[in-house]
Amino acid sequence: MAFHFQVITVFPEMIQAAMAAGVFSQAQKSSLLELSCINPREFTTDVHRTVDDRPFGGGDGMIMLPEPLQKSIEKAKAQQPKAKVIYLSPQGKPLTHQKAQALSQESGLVLLCGRYGGIDQRIINQFVDEELSTGDYVISGGELAACVVMDAVSRFVPGVLGHKDSVDKDSFAEGLLEHPNYTRPREYQGESVPEVLFSGHHKKINEWKELVSYLVTLQKRPDLIDKSKTQKTLKEAYKYWQGLSPQERDTLGLKTLKDEDFHG
Ligand code: 9D3
């Protein structure tokens, strides 16, 4: 059975457009994934098809009415009784690699998108299993966040990624950022591809990738170093970095790594 994403949104065309390219779209065609949208406007009865109203007590922004949302959730649940209901909101926990992987173990998800100033709290209380955010910044609604969740989760659904692109090798699986990559030509604008990559010595190449990953992470996201369970020690990375020329450091993208970064 395909993993079924059901998105509740007043902008279904935004969802369909965003998911119409790349691996997600291919996986839909091969029936590994299913995507459907439910528009709360279907469940309005007035001529204006109203889905929102002013907040009680005043304040900026309109709030989405509970009834069209409840009916949308009930329609989704009628198709997938066991699916988790996730509300995309700035108040949610930020999505992580671990969370995306855990959600891929479900049989499907109902993703509820708010617009305007959010939704009536009673819908969250009565129907939402989990609240998720994409990060600590404001976007205009839940739709782009739902697309981010679907993209990240679907990568863990068996068969969605070709065997050539494995999720286990993704940088966040290891807790570190990825090493730099190079393709032809071997020399470009005065910069040469690191010699080790031509050695054909796969053990050596993998050790190099791990070391450079560690250094890139130390430079760009030192906060990740503490959380990662990498075997590579700070000392080993420092020794390797000290042996590099300024040109070699530039080519590895390590321009701004400083001696102090190893001692903090
Ligand atoms: C008007 C005051 N805003 C307080 C922060 C309320 C507000 C409600 C709804 C602000 C933005 C939104 C729309 N954003 C989302 O629905 C959203 C979101 C986000 O803004 N940031 C990160 N992740 C997400 S997931 C959904």
Residue 81 inside a domain? The answer is: yes
Quick one: what percent of the chain has pLDDT higher than 70?
A: 98
Residue 148 inside a domain? The answer is: yes
* Residue 28 shares a structural domain with residue 136: yes
Q: Is 134 in the pocket of ligand 1 (CB under 6 A)?
A: yes
Mean pLDDT check: name the lowest of 23-37, 71-85, 113-127, 230-244. 230-244
* Residue 14 shares a structural domain with residue 130: yes
Residue 229 pLDDT class (50, 70, 90 cuts)? low
pLDDT at 232 over 70: no
Q: Is 141 in the pocket of ligand 1 (CB under 6 A)?
A: yes
* Residue 204 shares a structural domain with residue 238: yes
- Kindly give the distance from the C-alpha atom of residue 134 to the centroid of ligand 1, in angstroms, as a whole number: 10
Q: To test ligand 1's pocket by mutation, which of 7, 10, 14, 89 has the most ligand atoms within 8 angstroms of CB?
A: 89
Q: Per residue in 144-187, pLDDT tens?
A: 999 999 999 999 999 999 876 778 778 788 899 999 999 999 99
Asked which of 100, 128, 154 is the last residue of a domain, the reply is 154
- ∠ CA 107-108-111, nearest 5°, is 160
Q: Per residue in 101-114, pLDDT tens?
A: 999 999 999 999 99
Q: How far is 166 from 142, CA to CA, in rounded Å?
A: 28
* Residue 239 shares a structural domain with residue 144: no
* Residue 95 shares a structural domain with residue 137: yes
Contact 6, 40 (CB under 8 A): no
Q: What is residue 231's predicted lDDT score, i.e. its pLDDT?
A: 64
Q: Per residue in 48-99, pLDDT tens?
A: 999 999 999 999 999 999 999 999 999 999 999 999 999 999 999 999 999 9
Q: Is 136 in the pocket of ligand 1 (CB under 6 A)?
A: no
- Report the atom number in ligand 1 closest to the C-alpha of 132: 25
* Residue 36 shares a structural domain with residue 87: yes
What is each CA distance from 190 to 45, 172, 186, 244, 252, in whole angstroms?
67, 32, 10, 17, 14
* Residue 239 shares a structural domain with residue 180: yes
CATH for 117: 3.40.1280.10
Q: How high is the mean pLDDT of the chain?
A: 96
* Residue 48 shares a structural domain with residue 118: yes
Phi/psi at 53 (5° precision): -155, 170
- Report the atom number in ligand 1 closest to the C-alpha of 140: 13
* Residue 135 shares a structural domain with residue 187: no
- Kindly give the distance from the C-alpha atom of residue 220 to the centroid of ligand 1, in angstroms, as a whole number: 27
pLDDT at 227 over 80: no
* Residue 18 shares a structural domain with residue 138: yes
- Kindly give the distance from the C-alpha atom of residue 83 to the centroid of ligand 1, in angstroms, as a whole number: 24
* Residue 132 shares a structural domain with residue 176: no
Q: Is 108 in the pocket of ligand 1 (CB under 6 A)?
A: no
Question: How large is the average pLDDT for residues 18-36?
Answer: 98
Residue 254 inside a domain? The answer is: yes
Q: Is 95 in the pocket of ligand 1 (CB under 6 A)?
A: no
Closest alpha carbon to 14 in 118, 145, 108: 145
pLDDT at 230 over 70: no
Structural tokens at position 142: 């839940």
Q: What is residue 164's predicted lDDT score, i.e. its pLDDT?
A: 62
Indicate the pTM of the whole model. 0.96
How many domains does the structure of the chain reveal? 2
Amino acid at 246: P
Contact 4, 83 (CB under 8 A): yes
Q: What is residue 264's predicted lDDT score, i.e. its pLDDT?
A: 73
Q: Which domain holds residue 22?
A: 3-154
Q: What is residue 168's predicted lDDT score, i.e. its pLDDT?
A: 75
Amino acid at 103: L
* Residue 117 shares a structural domain with residue 22: yes
Collect all residues with Cβ–Cβ distance below 8 Å to 68 and sequence separation of at least 6.
40, 41, 42, 43, 44, 51
